Each structure stands twice: as structure tokens, then as C-alpha cells.
Structure 1
């Protein structure tokens, strides 16, 4: 074997083994898309206001906050991308609880600490007939409850009058129906350094807060001014807790308690750590894809891919005999390179992506056919086998490059303007173009020269063209 051929063989083997290493084990290295793995697809629309209109920067900040929240939630390989001017697509593979995802993504998580100026009394639960022995007792309880309701409404009207007189005050409702008159917010979520889930002395989940330097100073002043009075903890415009300050708190830490489950406390902590959404969002569409459907899609995709590959391999072998085997070896390496490319670039494989792999096989075969037919023409003109191989590859090269470049341009447009699975198809097709070019133009030529060089016959297999 000539020295200039030896380094080519070594290069092919290095690329092959590096690709196998990059893709093994495929279950861990190849990311599966939503249509293959199952999960949740959510389409969001940003809602602007005259004071805070939707802009490109707003959407980028929205995506950054969403990504921060989802990364902390632990979803593997989420897809978060812009769609149009004011929409964002979120795909969460492997997640089977759309409600928790919607709560995590859709809430703004605006946290405020406000002093309580006044509040309506907590309205007791409306009486139910089955809890009373007679109609008279039930009617008496109803009248008493209605009187409480009238007093609460009258108190609420007084609170609103205070707001009219002093616009710096606010009236907000609590989770249990109380209405609070609150002072201006002195501490917000921007003063948070950390938020974690903990448990109180009764084992109930709570969210512990740690403030930054400025927040520590402000919280110290807030608690010092309100000893013996309530301070409301406001989340997204709702008072979730209004504890009485027992003493001045100088350590820069606080605690949010409420009727939380552990999961709810965890989601609240994540939203507080990640920050508030820059704008409100509306959920336009939610689709949940079960893992069973994803498994069925994988089986169907693999079956379709295997059938397509087998048909291509059989065609090349039947039409070109042993030369077809050389092309088939190059095709196998093309598939390995595509999978290695997906693993290396951490691209997501989707059902359209599998279609892209099958299309790549067709393009690779097309390149081999162009080369083989050109070699046959060169043999008819009287060239030797080696000269015909060199001339065939050289003259077919321009045509192959031209065909692949036009396909690459189409894939680039699909990636730029497409979303979700369409972009997955474009990525897979682009990687396949480079893999098929390398294998058709370089690998096939080296293997063909090596195969012919070892034969004593002056006939190139399957061409039937003698020297």
C-alpha cells in the first residue's frame, strides 16, 4: 500500500472510532425530542402594556427567566425558543405533569413586603345546612354570616377611601378573603439573594428567604418600624401571609409560610430565585405527549429507517455488485457520523430528524451513483482502472458539491424560520450533508482504490468495461 494511501486509511479509522466513542451509548448521548420521548409543549404569548411594550429585548429577557426557572426545576434538555414577535415555544421532554410546568412558567412571581395599615376581619365560612339540626338554627347562622359580610364590605369601602386620599397606599386581597390596606413596598424580589424550601417545627413546608446587602438593611428597618404590627408578604398581587413582627430582624433572613405542599413550596422557591417575568404571559396552547406515544414513535421511526436503509443497500449491491458493497460501507459510516454529530452538538433527534437521516442516505447514494457512472464513462474512453477512478471522482465532484450546497441552503432557511421539529430536521439534514460529502468523496474513493488495487483483474467489478 502506498504511503499516501496509508494515512488516508488511518484518518478514516480515527474518524470512525472517534464517532463511535462520541455516540456510545446512544441512549445517553442522543437527545430525543418531544415527539419521541414524550413531554409537554407550551406556546406562550407575551402581553405588553403602554408603559412596558413588547420589544425584542423584552422577549430575550423573558426567555432568560424561563430558562433559569426550568433549569432549576430539573427538566433535561428543554427547548425554549422565540416564535414570531411576541411568542415563545417551550418544550419539556420527559415531563408528564403539564399543570406543574404551567404553574412554574406562567406565574410572574412578583414578591413584595408591605406594612399593613388596616385590614378587614376574616370572613368565616358560609354555613352549610347539614351542619345544623334545625332550619331555625341554620337561618340564624346565615343571618349572622350575612352581617359579617356587610361589615367586611363596609370596611373594604373605607379602605378604598384611604387609597383615594393617599395613592401611595394599596388595597389587596388575601388568600382567605381578607382585604388589606398596605403601605408602599420597601422590599421586592430584586433584593433576594436566595430562596430555599425548609420545614417549620410542625413539619410543614415553608420557603426561607435570604436578602442581599441592601435587602438586609431595608428588612431591618421594616421590622424595626413595625414591631407588634403586621407585615404583608405579597406574591403576584395577593397577600399570602401577614405575620405579626415580634422583634427586629437584622440577619437578612425571612420565612414565607402558608398552606403549601412540598412541591408548591419548591416551585415558589424556584420562581423567586429566577426572578419575575418581565411581562405577563398568556398560555395559548398546551399539549401533553405521553411516553407511550413517544415509544411508539421511536419504534415506527426505527422501523421506517431500517426498511429505507435496507432497500438502499440492496439496490446498490444488485446494481453495482461488489462496488455496491463499497458504497454500502460508506453509507454505514455516514449514519455513524450523523449520529455522532447529533451527540457532539447536543442536537435533538425528532421524527423529522429521522426523516432527515433517511434523506441523507438517499443523497449519499446519489453521490455514489454519479461517481460510478462517471467512472464507467472514463473506462469506455480507454483509461486504466485507477485513472478512471481518479477522473470519475474529480469530474463528479463539482456536480455533487452543487447538489449538496443547494440542499444546505434550504436546510439553513428551515432552521432560521422554522420551529421545533422543523429545526430538528434542518439540523439533522445539515449534519448529514457534511457526513455524506466526506464519505462519498473521500471514504468511497479510498476504499475503492484499496479494493481494486488488491485485485489482479483488469476489470472493475460490476462495470463490465475492460481496459
Structure 2
């Protein structure tokens, strides 16, 4: 008999529809207003704090749903935004700078769905609300950093070439090298000009050679600073689990950052502005640290304090900067003591090898450097950043180091994890300042969702009614496929990591609903034609599906390719539209061709049918 479906096809269809429905379910449970408490670099959040927080909030008369501890963070779930604001202000006063207290929206997904990693769709800034930042990279710091690296490179390479010099020092926009005689200066100038083609060298009358960046090199440094900061900001936000960000370049020096779902702009600023890295420097063992503490710091050295408060005198010359770190992970040594394993790029490995080969047996300090914004501004109106240094470990160099080594002397496994996370996320090439800040309120996002849902529901109802009236019993089959198609789109969007639903994305869903019914119309009209040509109902169904398939496939492939191009070249809203469009095309093909065929065969297939209700 015609139109009989093998049993395995029923199982496949039920599995696909059931799986996507299961992962679409979390979207029905909504989100809670929440306050999140997380640790800083020097503190730890423990589960024992949950009962104290709950009791304190209840005593303060703040209505809470529950307090949870997970992933070394405490989440206080509340009933409304007013309670959320009160709880945030109360906990801010309670903990001050000890912990990071931030407002957020937390999915209210049941535990049994969380157990299978089911989560609601991520919503874009226009639907969920959140914060929008326009950030500007401090290009002066970027060029200063490049000049600082150049000073170290000059010293190393001139020493290797056995070219003697009096001094190498960094100026505001150049590097100045002073030599002992004309012969040495000429030899150095010949060597450096051949080695550094992107630098301009100027010889002065006082045995001084001045090196400045060419315009092409300056443009390259600035472009690299912006691109690298974009990558690092994206990695940092992703690894901290704050949101799926939109991070893109705008102009020559600016970066646009959108963080959907973030309500606490202070928390977002802290994450984005955190400019931290490491320096490795030798201890100054020829001078007394007590004299430096008393205010007499020798030239060529600086006084830096350990995180435990102990002062150390360090040489100013940096052996290696954190810019060369490509990977960092925490572990323990053979004695169970926490450590951070560092991997360097090839240039960094060469620098570390050269710096340590003559210093075996000498102590080396690992200096944690952080740039924090001050309230002051420079002559151009840009924010001034203050550099803060803190020693996190002092260790004796036991052997010549290379591309891989480890940092020891850390106080706890948590400190090792936090440090490795920060280093793995990367150090910003240059400090950034927020020049524009805009908050999209959840109320506006809610209104957009409601309007978008109305468009989807009204469009779906109109199509369902039309199909039911025009195609009767087969219209019911098409309506089942349409509803399944919508559920599958939601389920797949919820399953894909990083997929974000935006307002244009909702427009893509509305469009795919129309495209899905278009495929059913083609099939049903084909069946009608076959019946008019005198074929039996079973033959009409069989030929109707077979003959319509090629037309449906051609139309959907061309539309899918258009969506693929939009995704490849588009940004922001265009990407959101293309993602839902491509997913909708795939699901509509499945529901219109496979699902409806299975249902039709289950109802009419393999039976004697005299007339079809179509």
C-alpha cells in the first residue's frame, strides 16, 4: 500500500519534536529580579553566608523569594524590582568594598530542566534591557607601552651585538640612546636601521640617537590596541558569565559594548575597565629597602609592597610583561601548594630566557599591575588612570626559564584561579574610558517583547484560521506543523550557545511562519491537481508530496543562502534576523515535508479512502 511510514520515522519525528519542546520549556518560567554577591580578588564567598544574608534581609523588612549559593556566588532572588533595589542598597552598605554586589536577572528554570542544561533563550538589548557603552581607548598609553617595550628591546639587542652605550631612556614620543663615541653611534645606527624598518632614527650632535615611530607604525599600534581590546573585553565578559555581549569597533579609537540583561552599570564598568597585567622584575639587592621606605628611593629602582604589606625594592627594568602571556591555568605543586602555570608566546619565551640566563639564584618578583580610573581629567578632557602595583609572589630563579613556567607563593587555590582567569582573559593593551553610557530599561524591553509576541500570535492565528477553512482536515495537519515549527525554533534558539533573540529576530520568526505555510500550500495544491487528473486519493497524496518537494527545496535553499550571506556580512540586528531566518527555514522544511507526511500517512495512509477532505 502507498503512504505507509516506517516505524523508525515515527520515532525520529517524535524524538526531534520532543527534544526541541523540552528545551523550549524554560522560556515559560520567566526570570527573577536578583542581587548577585561575588568575591573580589582578595575575598571568598562561602555557603555559610547565605543564612546570614537571608536573616539580615528579613530583619530589614525586604521580601525575598530565596537565597542560593552556586559557582562561588550568592544569588538573592526577589519578587519585584523595588525589592531588588532595596536589597542591593542594603547589601552594598553591609559589605561595602569587601564583595561585589550587582543587580541582575536570573532565569527561574526548575532544577530538573537545569540538570539537562536547558535554559531560556538569551534576549538582546532591545528585548531584555541592559546597558550600552561607547568606550574610547587611551592611545597615549598604547604608544607609551610600545615605547617601553622598545627600550627593553634596544638594550637587549645592543648588548648582544656588543655595542656599548651610555643610556637608553624613554621620552614622551621617542626613545633616546646615548653613546660614548661617534664610531659606536654609527655602528649602532647602521644595525638599528636595518633591524627596525618601521622606525625613524635621528642623529644629534651630542652622541645621541633618537628613535621615533613612523606614521604607518603608529597607525598599526593604534589599530592593534583597539582590536586586541575588543577581543579581550569579549573574552573577559564571556568568562565571567555576565552576558553574551555585542562588542564592535566604532571609528578609529572607540568600541561599542552592549550587555543585555545587565541592570547594574557599576558592575559592568568594573568588568570592562579592569586593566590588569603582570610584570616580572628583579629585586634590588644592592640597596636597603628601609632607606626606600624612609623616602630615599635609589635611581633605577622603585618601592613596591607585597599584598601582605611587606615592602620590597625592585629594579625598574621589566624582564617581561603580561602582554606575552597566551595561557594561564591554576593547579597545585607536588606539595599541594597552589600555583599558576604560565605559557608565553615565542617572543615572550625568548625575552624570559635572555633575562633569566644571567640571574640564576637571584630573586624575581611577580608584580600585579592594575589601572584604576580617577576623578581627574587631562588637558584634552580624557579620564586619568592611576597605576597601582602589588607584588603577589617573590621566588628565586632556579634555572633558565623559557616559554613555560609557574608562579608560586599564592595564598589559596581561589587566588590562583582568579589570577589565572584574569591572565587568560587578557590584559587590556591600553586603558579605556566610557565616553557614553545608555541604559535600556527592562520596561522598554518588556514592551518590545509584548509587541513582537502580538505580531507572531496574530500572524499565526490568521494563518491557522485560513488553513483550517480552506483545506479543512488537511488544514488541521498544516496547523499542527505550524505550531510545532514555532516550538522547534524556540527550542533550537535556546539550545544554541551564544544565539540571541532580538526584535529583528522576532520579525524573522514571523517571516518563517509564512514560509512554512507556503510549503504546505504547495503540497496541498499538488494533491488537489492529482485528484482533478483522476488519480486515487492515495496516489494523489504520494505524487503530491513527491512533486512538490523539488520546488520547496529550491525556494528554501535560495532563501537560506541569502540568510547565510546576511549572517556573514551583517552586524547586530541584521545577524539576529538572519539567525532566526535560517533556523526557521530548516525547521519549516522538517515540519512541512517530514512531519505533515508522517501525520497524513498515520491518518490516511494504508487505508481505502474514497475522498479526501482537502
- Structure-2-length-normalised TM-score: 0.51
Q: Contact 1:42–1:285 (CA<8 Å) still a contact in 2?
A: yes
Go from structure 1 to structure 2 and tell me whether the alpha carbon gap of 1:109 and 1:283 turns closer, same or farther (over 3 Å shift). same
After TM superposition, the structure 1 = structure 2 runs for residues 9-88 of structure 1, keeping only pairs within 5 Å, are 9-26=10-27, 27=29, 28-43=119-134, 50=217, 53=220, 61-80=228-247
Tell me, what secondary structure is at the counterpart of 2:317?
coil
Shift in CA distance, 61/233, structure 1 to aligned 2, threshold 3 Å = closer
Gap runs ≥5 in structure 2: 30-118, 144-216, 288-297, 303-314, 331-338, 344-351, 372-384, 397-406, 412-417
Q: How many angstroms apart in 1 are the aligned matches of 2:506 and 2:219?
A: 43
Equivalent of 2:602 in 426, 450, 455: 450
CA distance in 1, matches of 2:4, 2:360: 75
1:331 corresponds to which residue?
Answer: 482
Closer, same or farther: CA 4–454 of 1 in aligned 2, 3 Å: closer
Does the aligned pair in 1 maintain the 2:563–2:581 contact within 8 Å? yes
Q: Aligned-pair distance for 1:44?
A: 5.2
Cα deviation, residue 314, structure 1 = 0.6
Counterpart in the other structure of 1:399: 551
Shift of 1:238: 3.6
- 1:65-464 paired onto structure 2 within 5 Å: 65-80=232-247, 89-106=256-273, 108-110=275-277, 112=279, 183-186=316-319, 188-189=321-322, 235-236=370-371, 238-240=386-388, 253=409, 274-278=425-429, 286-346=437-497, 347-453=499-605, 458-462=610-614
User: For 2:131 and 2:429, how far apart are their aligned partners in 1?
Assistant: 23
Q: 2:229·2:428 contact (CA, 8 Å) conserved in 1?
A: yes
Shift in Å, 1:430: 0.5
Please give the alpha-carbon distance, in whole angstroms, between the structure 2 residues aligned to 1:87 and 1:287: 15
Q: 1:84/1:393 Cα in 2 relative to 1: closer, same or farther (>3 Å)? A: farther
For residues 104 and 72 of structure 1, do their structure 2 counterparts lie closer, same or farther at Cα, with a shift above 3 Å needed? same
Q: Between Structure 1 and Structure 2, which shows a larger proportion of strand residues?
A: 2
Separation in structure 2 between the aligned mates of residue 184 and residue 13 of structure 1, nearest angstrom: 67
Q: 1:66 to 1:315 in 2, by over 3 A?
A: same
**Structure 2 CA distance for partners of 1:109 and 1:340, relative to 1, 3 Å:** same
How many Å apart are 1:35 and its aligned residue?
Answer: 1.9
Q: Deviations over 1:327-368 (max 9, x none)?
A: 001111111221222122232222222221111110011111
Unmatched 5+ residue regions in structure 1? 118-158, 163-167, 171-181, 196-208, 225-230, 256-266, 463-467
Q: Secondary structure at the match of 2:276?
A: coil
Aligned pair in 2 of structure 1 residues 100, 16: CA closer, same or farther (>3 Å)?
closer
The answer to which structure has the higher helix fraction is: 1
Given that 1:61 and 1:278 are in contact with CA atoms closer than 8 Å, whether structure 2 keeps it comes out as yes
CA change 1:169–1:343 in 2 (3 A) is: same
Once the two structures are TM-superposed, the CA of residue 18 in structure 1 deviates from its matched residue by 2.0
- Larger RCO (CA under 8 A, 6+ residues apart): 1
Give CA-to-partner distance per residue, 1:176-202, whole Å, 9 cap, x none. Answer: xxxxxx93335644699799xxxxxxx
Q: Encode CA deviations 1:408-449: one digit per residue, 9 max, x unaligned.
A: 111111111112232122111111101111111122223223
Distance 1:276 1:32 in 2: 29
SS at match of 2:242: coil
Q: Normalization by structure 1: what TM-score?
A: 0.65
| Compared CA separation, residues 54 and 414, structure 1 to 2 (3 A) | farther
Distance of aligned partners of 1:210 and 1:283 in 2 relative to their CA distance in 1, 3 Å threshold: same
Q: Per the alignment, do residues 86 and 443 of structure 1 end up closer, same or farther by CA in structure 2, a change over 3 Å counting?
A: farther
Shift in alpha-carbon separation, 1:284–1:328, aligned structure 2, 3 A: farther
Counterparts in 2 of 1:268 and 1:104: CA distance versus 1, 3 Å? farther
d(CA) in 1 for partners of 2:243, 2:360:
37
CA distance in 2, matches of 1:33, 1:219: 54
Q: Distance in 2 between matches of 1:380 and 1:3?
A: 19
C-alpha distance 56-113 of structure 1, shift in aligned 2 (>3 A): closer
The alpha-carbon distance between structure 1 residues 211 and 184, as it changes in their structure 2 partners (threshold 3 A), is farther
TM-aligned CA deviation for residue 2 of structure 1: 8.2
| Closer/same/farther in 2, CA of residues 287 and 461 from structure 1, 3 Å limit | same
SS at match of 1:458: coil
Q: Conserved in 2, the CA contact under 8 Å of 1:210 and 1:253?
A: no
CA 292–187 in structure 1, closer or farther in 2 if over 3 Å, else same: same
C-alpha separation between the residues in 1 aligned to 2:263 and 2:592? Answer: 43
Q: Is the 8 A contact 1:219 1:252 kept in 2?
A: no
Aligned residues: 383
* 342-351 vs 436-445, greater mean Cα deviation: 342-351
Q: Is the CA contact 1:220–1:252 (under 8 Å) kept in the aligned structure 2?
A: no
In structure 2, the residue corresponding to 1:76 is in which secondary structure?
A: coil
